[in-house]
């Protein structure tokens, strides 16, 4: 063949090579100043004073091995200024976490921050937390550091069972923790279990969010640079899928990368984690405001005089 001209064409995925990708979720520019802003917002968070709460409780639920305990370790690391592993974590057939543990996060000054990450055993199809235990956790009936016994579920006759929990002992926000790379592989029975838990939470008015973990393992672009997370179509697709599975708005789905292989802190990993925490505190704050309105309305109703002119001034703060 006598070739006089050769042209080579490249097929792209629809994006022009010279057009920048648009983020599917907008955030301020990721830099040291933004990290400081997030840190200050979280350190300064205080629950509303009307109910006398010193902190809010965020319950972490999710399948075994999705990174519930690792997320607490990540947040604790950010505020300690070094990699921390207070909560036990790792890979196992069944949940490594076996007790109900409300973890405290402390600022570098040593002061405790005004929220608790409540870790508990992982969800399994035939084992793990059941619907009755979930209800007890939400209502604050299960005491701190209670050791779950798969053979004998907790009941009101158990020693330490909290019969009259205070508002401060109840759950103010629920965080479902799900592995980004296995979203489409969650067993149908496990989805049904989570949906049944959600019905109880919805009935109680408790807000829910999803922590989408291990985003670096789901997308190579995010693995190379964490700040690419809101540019990644794979992560966006995982967010859409989780939103459909649990029926939650997309802005309730919070992607994160936990500290796992790192030996020192990385600003981008910390920013992504703190973005999630700040949003969770917003959700808890909204719940408390709604709760205050309900209790205020109930107290007004109780104080209305009866036919004899008597009023009932019982308090609903507990």
Amino acid 24: pLDDT: 97
Q: Read off the tokens for 272.
A: 């992504």
Top-level CATH class of 52-298? alpha beta
179-236 pLDDT, tens per residue? 999 999 999 999 999 999 999 999 999 999 999 999 999 999 999 999 999 999 999 9
Name which of 76, 61, 42 is nearest 284 in CA terms: 42
Name which of 156, 102, 92 is nearest 124 in CA terms: 92
Residue 184 CA from chain centroid, whole number: 20
Amino acid 228: pLDDT: 97
Residue 182, CA distances (Å) to 5, 64, 276, 299 in order = 49, 12, 20, 47
Q: Read off the tokens for 275.
A: 């973005």
Averaged in consecutive runs of 10 residues, what is the pLDDT profile of the chain (318 residues)? 80 59 94 97 90 93 91 95 83 66 92 95 84 95 90 87 95 97 94 96 97 96 96 97 97 96 96 98 95 84 62 49
Residue 317, CA distances (Å) to 144, 234, 294, 313 in order = 20, 45, 11, 12
Q: Which sign does the torsion angle of CA 149, 169, 82, 235 carry? A: positive
Continuous segment of H or E residues that includes residue 4: none
The pairing of beta strand 112-119 with beta strand 173-179: unpaired
pTM of the model: 0.86
Write down the domain spans for the chain. Answer: 52-298
Mean pLDDT of the chain: 89
């Amino acid at each position: 063949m006598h070739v006089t001209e050769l042209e080579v064409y490249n097929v792209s995925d629809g994006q022009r090579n010279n057009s920048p990708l648009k983020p599917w979720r907008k955030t301020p520019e990721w830099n040291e100043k933004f990290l400081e802003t997030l840190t200050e917002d979280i350190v300064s968070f205080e629950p509303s004073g009307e109910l006398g709460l010193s902190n809010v409780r965020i319950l972490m639920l999710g399948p075994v091995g999705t990174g519930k305990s690792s997320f607490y370790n990540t947040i604790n690391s950010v505020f300690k200024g070094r990699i921390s592993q207070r909560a036990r974590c790792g890979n196992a057939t069944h949940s490594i976490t076996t007790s109900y543990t409300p973890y405290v996060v402390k600022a570098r000054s040593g002061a405790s921050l005004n929220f608790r990450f409540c870790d508990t055993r992982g969800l399994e199809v035939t084992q793990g937390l059941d619907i009755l235990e979930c209800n007890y956790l939400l209502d604050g009936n299960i005491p701190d550091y209670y050791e779950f016994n798969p053979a004998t579920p907790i009941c009101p006759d158990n020693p330490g069972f909290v019969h009259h929990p205070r508002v401060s002992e109840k759950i103010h926000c629920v965080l479902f923790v799900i592995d980004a790379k296995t979203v489409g592989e969650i067993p149908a029975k496990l989805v049904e279990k989570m949906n049944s838990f959600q019905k109880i939470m919805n009935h109680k008015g408790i807000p829910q969010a999803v922590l989408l973990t291990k985003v670096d393992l789901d997308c190579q672009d995010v693995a190379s640079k964490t700040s690419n997370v809101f540019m990644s179509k794979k992560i966006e697709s995982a967010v859409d899928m989780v939103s459909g599975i649990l029926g939650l708005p997309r802005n309730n789905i919070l992607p994160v990368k936990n500290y796992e292989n790192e030996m020192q802190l990385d600003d981008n990993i910390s920013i992504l984690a703190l973005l999630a925490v700040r949003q969770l505190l917003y959700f808890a704050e909204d719940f408390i405001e709604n709760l205050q309105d309900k209790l205020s309305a109930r107290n007004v109703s109780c104080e209305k005089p009866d036919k004899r002119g008597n009023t009932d001034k019982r308090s609903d703060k507990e």
